[in-house]
Amino acid sequence: MTQDLSAIGPTPVHFMMKTRLQSEAAIEPDPVHTGPIKKETQIIAIYGKGGIGKSFTLANLSYMMAQQGKKVLLIGCDPKSDTTSLLFGGKACPTIIETSSKKKLAGEAVAIGDVCFKRDGVYAMELGGPEVGRGCGGRGIIHGFETLEKLGFHDWGFDYVLLDFLGDVVCGGFGLPIARDMCQKVIVVGSNDLQSLYVANNVCSAVEYFRKLGGNVGVAGMVINKDDGTGEAAAFAQAAGIPVLSAIPADEDIRRKSASYEIIGRPEGQWGPMFADLASNVATAPPVRPKPLSQDELLGLFAGSAVGRDVVLEPATVFDMMGREDITKPSLEVVYDQA
C-alpha cells in the first residue's frame, strides 16, 4: 500500500527549520562602510611561461618592496611550489594544501603560523598542488584560496599581495584572479622567445575577454627577463599596448646568484637600483586593456627562419593514411529532419 505523503502535515523538524530560516532572514545585514578608507591593498597577479623567471622576479621584487618599508605578501600559486624557494634560500615552504590535508586528518584547524612565513619583512606562502596524475592543479588553487578566505584573507593589512601564476596552464583555477576580479592588475613576464610571448599574449587575451564580460582587471605591463637585446619582447609589449616595467639582462652574475638562491634585489647591491625602479613601476603602473595579437602578428615579431613561418601545409591523403587508395564506404549516420 502506498502512503499519500501530501496528506502529512509539517513535522516538528520542518517547523524548526522554517523558524530558523525566518530568523536568519530577519537579521539586517551590516551597513555599507561609508568612512574613510584607511588602507588599500594592491593585489597583483604575475603570469608567465613555466621557467621564464617569475619566481626569481617576484622574490627579488618583494624583497625590495619590503626594504622600502612596504608590507608585502607573496603567494605562490604554482603546483611546483617553488615561488618562495629563492626567498627562503632554497628551503621548502609547507604548502597550504598539504598542511590543510594533514590538519584535517588530525581533526585540527589550519592556523596562520602553519602556512605563512617571513624573512626580512616579506611574508610568503605556497598554495601547492597535487602530485602528477593525482588531481587537478586548478582545483588545488581554488581550494587554497578558499582556505585563505577562512583565515581572513580579505581583512589582512598588506600594501601589496603578489600572486605567482603559471600562464601556460589554461584550466579555470589559474585564471581565478582575472575571472573573478580578485586582483586589480596583471603583470606578464616574458623573454625574447616565441613561447614565452605566446603565453603572454594568451594572458592578454584572457584579460580582454573578461573585460568584455564586465571585468575590471587590466594589464599593468611586462617584465622582460633574460633580455639579450634582440627586441622581440619589447616589440610585443608595444604592439599589445602595454609598457615594459623592467628589462632584466641576461647576465652571468644574475644567473649564478639566482642558481645559488641568493637575493640580488637588495638596496645596497649592484642590481638594487634595477629592482627599485621595478618596484616603483609596479606600484604606479595603471591597469590597461591590452590589444592581443593574432597568431600571424605574433609570428611577425620574429624572423621567418626562426619560427618556420615559410612552411606550407600539405594536406594528407587516404593513401598516406592506409597505404592504398580505398573506396569510401557509406556510413550509418542517422539524419534527423529539421525541427
Q: What are the boundaries of each domain within the chain?
A: 42-301
- Profile the chain (339 residues) by mean pLDDT over runs of 10 residues: 51 69 61 47 92 93 96 88 88 87 89 92 87 70 83 90 83 80 93 94 94 93 96 96 97 94 94 97 95 92 71 86 75 67
Helix (H/G/I), strand (E/B), else coil: 8: coil
Task: Record the pTM.
Answer: 0.79
Distance CA 104, CA 36 (A): 40
Here the cell at position 331 is 556510413
**Measured CA distances, 132 to 105, 137, 167, 175 (Å):** 22, 9, 18, 20
pLDDT at 273: 96
pLDDT at 150: 87
Residue with C-alpha cell 607573496? Answer: 74
Catalytic residue numbers, as ranges: 49, 54, 80, 168
CATH pick for 42-301 out of 3.40.50.300, 3.60.150.10, 3.40.470.10, 2.10.109.10:
3.40.50.300
Here the cell at position 170 is 589554461
Distance CA 91, CA 85 (A): 6
**Measured CA distances, 194 to 66, 183, 207 (Å):** 34, 27, 20
**308, 250 Cβ separation under 8 angstroms:** no
Helix (H/G/I), strand (E/B), else coil: 44: strand
Cα angle for residues 189, 82, 181 (degrees, 5° grid): 55
**Measured CA distances, 301 to 110, 157, 188, 268 (Å):** 48, 42, 18, 37
**Measured CA distances, 205 to 81, 101, 198, 202, 233 (Å):** 26, 35, 10, 5, 17
Angle between helix 96-105 and helix 137-150 axes, rounded to 10 deg:
70
Looking only at the bridges linking them, the beta strands covering 122-126 and 117-119 are antiparallel
